[in-house]
Chains A and B, each alone.
Chain A
Amino acid sequence: MGQGTPTSLAIIVAEEFGIPLEKVKINQLEMVSTDTNPYTWQTVGSRGLFSDGIALLRAIEDAKDQIKDTASRVFKVPIDDVEVSGGYVFSKSHPWIRKEIKEFAMGYTYPDGTTVGSPVIGRGSYAPVLNTFLDASGHGSNTVFHTYGGTGVELEIDLLTGKVKVLRAIQVYDVGKAIDPLLVKGQMDGGFIMGLGSALYEELKFDEDGRVINPNLINYYVPHFEDMTASIESYIIETPQKDGPLGARGVGEHVMIGVAPAIANAILRATGVKINQLPITAEKLWKAIKEQKPELIEKAQKLFFEEGIKEVQQV
């Protein structure tokens, strides 16, 4: 299950019913158990919140309909006149006729003990309707939403060793609606770190027999604390996704995609050296510079020996 999904789902429930967030409990184990729940339509492509959110909104609608049905009988008003929000069930035309939502949770009980209605269990499900497989030419509509955004980096290259140091990163993503902006920001910054790992460090290496020769976290290096850039700016844009839950669309993995191209393009722009293979290790970049722009290395060497040293006295 994605890492912001349960929290975001809880926020949706709290907002829809107008109840405090602490009152909402998302059972994460049940959520992913296909013994008791239907299969969530794929937590891939960062669509966990998208799919679960729409299913949840439908379940909330179903639950509200049951509450409205009971309440219309209790309030003695037409069902269309009943509204559930802000923690209350009330009549739209006579707003002073209202009761707390919790009074309808198990059906409504009159003071004399007689009851009307029944326990409320809302159900909702979702599967995308307009998706197609891709045809032979690679065309089709194989996703329910597209998240747009961009990544920019500022970096430093050590021409003599090929080592790249990313100094600054800026990311802008249109997430439709940030249900929890703190989580979205975390996903964006975290996505950048993951992108940085795949762009510069992470590579499984094999020997002639196909055995992995770097099966540990020292040789298969993933980003560590010190790899974080000195500055990162992540901006959220909100153009609602009309069919998304409260206008939201997925963002988790998308952020990672832009990092490697941004780094490769920054290298290209700074040096004119093209790299089309990840990860861009110092060794790989050094070799590429040597093949494509050897004059840069010569220039850097010249600078090192002539500019830096001439003033220095020997002991």
Chain B
Amino acid sequence: MKTISLKVNGIAKEITIEDNELLLNVLREKLGITSVKAACWRGECGLCTVLLDGIPVKSCMTLAVEADGKEVITAEGLYFDEKAKKLMESFVKHGAMQCGFCTPAFVVTSHYVLTKNPEIDGEELKKELNGVICRCGTYYQIYEAVKDAEKYYKKETKS
């Protein structure tokens, strides 16, 4: 048992955990953050992707204790980010979801990608998003949605 302190979606938290707990379990079960989906548990599907200090990681492959002193951002937290909100609206506009199970992971990952490079090359974008699987095959729509949202990220960097 040990207590870790971390910031989750902007809110400071102190949680008591075991060394062998996965960040995924802590987020879903102890903090009730359900946009982080549990699916393959092997780091292959990417549905549990969160931002850990701004970098996308698969939370099923991350120990909770590794997040000690760091900041975790999930899709819930991105709702309060102006740019990310536009990105989410772009997902809706382009119909970039069918069953919706992978949507939070795609939003989190593409928010990271666009923040890093709002003028990303199309092939590079596909590579960046290759870590998340959409079984409904909505890739074409997600691609359009992310490309369309580039403008919101560009504006912010200029000002």
Report if A and B touch in the complex (beta carbons < 8 A): yes
Q: What is A's interface to B at a CB cutoff of 8 Å?
A: 3-4, 182-183, 185-187, 189-194, 196-197, 216-218, 222-228, 232
- B77-113 residues at the A interface, CB under 8 angstroms: 94-95, 98-99
The distance from the CB of A257 to the nearest CB of chain B, in whole angstroms, is 14
Known contacts A189-B137, A217-B45, A225-B132; 16 further A-B pairs (Cβ under 8 A): A187-B98, A189-B139, A193-B140, A216-B40, A217-B44, A222-B133, A224-B130, A225-B129, A225-B130, A225-B139, A226-B126, A226-B127, A227-B139, A228-B126, A228-B140, A232-B140
Query: Chain B contact residues: over half helix, strand or loop, or mixed?
Result: loop
The distance from the CB of B117 to the nearest CB of chain A, in whole angstroms, is 16
Task: Answer yes or no: B135 CB below 8 A from chain A CBs.
Answer: yes
Interface centre among B133, B139, B143 (most CB of A within 10 A): B139
A3 contact set on B, CB distance < 8 A: 98-99, 136
Number of interface residues of B (CB under 8 A): 24
Task: Answer yes or no: B138 CB below 8 A from chain A CBs.
Answer: yes
B139 contact set on A, CB distance < 8 A: 189, 193, 223, 225, 227-228
Task: Answer yes or no: B9 CB below 8 A from chain A CBs.
Answer: no
In the complex, A232 Cα to B42 Cα: how many Å? 32
Say yes or no: A190-B42 contact (C-beta < 8 A), given A185-B95, A226-B130.
no
In the complex, A182 Cα to B96 Cα: how many Å? 10
Q: Are A186 and B138 in contact (CB under 8 A)?
A: yes
Q: Are B140 and A189 in contact (CB under 8 A)?
A: yes
Say yes or no: A182-B95 contact (C-beta < 8 A), given A217-B133, A225-B132.
yes
Task: Answer yes or no: B141 CB below 8 A from chain A CBs.
Answer: yes
Q: Are B126 and A190 in contact (CB under 8 A)?
A: no
Q: Are A223 and B95 in contact (CB under 8 A)?
A: no
Minimum CB distance partner of A190 in chain B? B137
Q: Are A216 and B138 in contact (CB under 8 A)?
A: no
Q: Are A186 and B135 in contact (CB under 8 A)?
A: no
The distance from the CB of B156 to the nearest CB of chain A, in whole angstroms, is 25
In the complex, A218 Cα to B138 Cα: how many Å? 20
The distance from the CB of A26 to the nearest CB of chain B, in whole angstroms, is 14
A223 contact set on B, CB distance < 8 A: 137, 139
- B114-159 residues at the A interface, CB under 8 angstroms: 126-127, 129-130, 132-143
B99 contact set on A, CB distance < 8 A: 3
The distance from the CB of A302 to the nearest CB of chain B, in whole angstroms, is 32
The distance from the CB of A184 to the nearest CB of chain B, in whole angstroms, is 9
Interface centre among B40, B127, B134, B140 (most CB of A within 10 A): B140
Q: Are B133 and A224 in contact (CB under 8 A)?
A: yes
Minimum CB distance partner of A223 in chain B? B137
Residue in A186, A187, A197, A217 whose beta carbon sits within 8 Å of that of B42 in the complex:
A217
Give 21 A-B contacts (CB < 8 Å), ordered by A residue.
A3-B99, A3-B136, A183-B95, A185-B95, A186-B136, A186-B138, A186-B141, A189-B137, A189-B139, A190-B136, A193-B140, A194-B135, A194-B137, A196-B137, A197-B137, A216-B44, A217-B44, A217-B133, A218-B42, A225-B132, A228-B140
Q: Are B137 and A192 in contact (CB under 8 A)?
A: yes
The distance from the CB of A4 to the nearest CB of chain B, in whole angstroms, is 7
In the complex, A82 Cα to B126 Cα: how many Å? 56
B127 contact set on A, CB distance < 8 A: 225-226
The distance from the CB of B104 to the nearest CB of chain A, in whole angstroms, is 16
**Interface code B14-51, partner A: CB below 8 Å = 1, 0 otherwise?**
00000000000000000000000000101011000000
